[in-house]
Amino acid sequence: MTTLKGPAVFLAQFIGDKAPFNDLRSICEWAKSLGFKGVQIPTTDPRFIDLQKAAESKTYADEINGIVNGAGLEITELSTHLQGQLVAVNPAYDLLFDGFAPEALRGNPKARQEWAVQQLKYAAKASQNLGLNAHATFSGALLWPTVYPWPQRSAGLVEEGFNELAKRWLPILNTFDEHGVDVCYEIHAGEDLHDGISYERFLDKVNQHKRACLLYDPSHFILQCLDYLTYIDHYHERIKAFHVKDAEFNPTGKQGVYGGYQDWIDRAGRFRSLGDGQVNFKGIFSKMAQYDFKGWAVLEWECCLKHPEDGAREGAAFIRDHIIRVTDKAFDDFAASGVDAKKNRTVLGLE
């Protein structure tokens, strides 16, 4: 068994225009001061990393590693959540998702998708240059508007949607395979890969591709009323990345999973800072130890109540205290009597 690594923090929700959140060096120093050991880096802000340059220049990638290592940290993974979303966008969401793309590509879905695919391919090489073996992203969604359909879905719609999603992702998965990096899809509402069944559909379409892996985040399963502990039993061999994020679900006589179009603070299901929600992290960390998860425990802070800096400070300690240092001995070794083949046969009545 392996003691998983951490605590680490996903930087996306902390990036801003004021120090120490406005450049890579200072935000890493801030993270280190809170007790973090790693950072997961988003790739849409050149103040933190130029993704294309990291792919094309090993020297530049070494410089990025040098900045992070100089603060006493490691890079856990790169993230292309926003770019991954743009690999597959239903036309109903074209206008809403245009903001994820460079301004010059907005209003041009074809060019936007081509840019996103290239970004993922840069991420594969950049990850290799940085010495990483896992990458965090979203799958995008063609079918999401029909997830709870009225009128009913037309025959063959789901099959066609997953065929197309696989067609778009297979070349990307193959590129990641060439560079020895796993693609870790965050299973998330709004994505075509939003639960175990949809992930399995996708795996079938990409021929069980060995790089089509998972980023495990239990908060999204709390909000779906999905058994997030048994999920680990089903998919532990594919889980290669881990977001430690809390959530709560408190349905009432007026609202449930869908939340009545309310803001986050008023929904029955909402994300919370670590320790303030309902996720059973003792159970999760136990299963991660049991199944020999070798990656990082990465805080993703999202909370509609608590200040992010408090969430980060508390989250570092929370993760540290939940990491299980795995044992290298059996608890009943003290009573071991050694190997004696003859005695074993006698106990079994065979002598």
Instruction: Indicate if the pLDDT at residue 336 is higher than 80.
Output: no
Are 115 and 101 in contact by the 8 Å Cβ rule? The answer is yes
Sequential DSSP letters for 180-238? T-EEEEEP-TTSS--SHHHHHHHHHHTTT-TTEEEEE-THHHHTTT--HHHHHHHHTTT
CATH number for the domain harbouring residue 239: 3.20.20.150
Are 249 and 189 in contact by the 8 Å Cβ rule? The answer is no
- Residue (of 138, 118, 244, 233) closest to 188 by Cα position: 138
Domain housing 235: 5-347
pLDDT in the model for residue 338: 73
Instruction: Indicate if the pLDDT at residue 330 is higher than 90.
Output: no
Instruction: Indicate if the pLDDT at residue 335 is higher than 80.
Output: no
Instruction: Indicate if the pLDDT at residue 237 is higher than 70.
Output: yes
Instruction: Indicate if the pLDDT at residue 16 is higher than 80.
Output: yes
Instruction: Indicate if the pLDDT at residue 110 is higher than 90.
Output: yes
pLDDT in the model for residue 83: 98
Q: What is the mean pLDDT of residues 116-143?
A: 98
Instruction: Strands of the chain (E only): list them.
Output: 5-10, 38-42, 74-80, 134-137, 182-186, 212-216, 239-244, 246-249, 269-272, 296-299
Query: What confidence category does residue 261 fall into, taking pLDDT thresholds of 50, 70 and 90?
Result: very high
pLDDT in the model for residue 343: 85
pLDDT in the model for residue 339: 76
pLDDT in the model for residue 292: 97
pLDDT in the model for residue 199: 98
CB atoms within 10 A of CB 21: 16
- Residue (of 294, 80, 54) closest to 169 by Cα position: 80
Dig out the tokens for 201 from the structure.
């559909």
Instruction: Indicate if the pLDDT at residue 193 is higher than 70.
Output: yes
- Residue (of 183, 93, 182, 95) closest to 139 by Cα position: 183
Looking at the chain, the number of H-run helices and the number of E-run strands are 13, 10
Q: What is the pLDDT of residues 147-172, one digit of tens each?
A: 999 999 999 999 999 999 999 999 99
- The SS3 assignment for 241 reads strand
Average pLDDT over the chain, rounded to whole?
96
Please state whether beta strands 134-137 and 239-244 pair in parallel, antiparallel, or not at all (unpaired).
unpaired
Q: What is the pLDDT of residues 280-322, one digit of tens each?
A: 999 999 999 999 999 999 999 999 999 999 999 999 999 999 9
CA distances from 271 to 10, 38, 315, 324 (A): 15, 22, 14, 24
**How many separate domains does the chain show?**
1
Query: What confidence category does residue 329 fall into, taking pLDDT thresholds of 50, 70 and 90?
Result: confident
Instruction: Indicate if the pLDDT at residue 265 is higher than 70.
Output: yes
Dig out the tokens for 112 from the structure.
């936007």
- The SS3 assignment for 27 reads helix
pLDDT in the model for residue 9: 98
Q: Which residues pair with 10 in a beta bridge?
A: 40
Query: What confidence category does residue 57 fall into, taking pLDDT thresholds of 50, 70 and 90?
Result: very high
Q: Which of 29-43, 202-216, 316-330 has the lowest mean pLDDT?
A: 316-330
State the DSSP H helix or E strand holding residue 319, giving kind and residue range, or none if neither.
Answer: helix 308-322
Instruction: Indicate if the pLDDT at residue 340 is higher than 90.
Output: no
Q: What is the pLDDT of residues 63-106, one digit of tens each?
A: 999 999 999 999 999 999 999 999 999 999 999 999 999 999 99
Please state whether beta strands 296-299 and 134-137 pair in parallel, antiparallel, or not at all (unpaired).
unpaired
- Residue (of 284, 312, 305) closest to 218 by Cα position: 284
pLDDT in the model for residue 332: 67
pLDDT in the model for residue 307: 97
Query: What confidence category does residue 334 fall into, taking pLDDT thresholds of 50, 70 and 90?
Result: low
Phi, psi (5° rounding) for residue 159?
-60, -45
338: left (phi over 0), alpha (psi -120 to 50) or beta: left
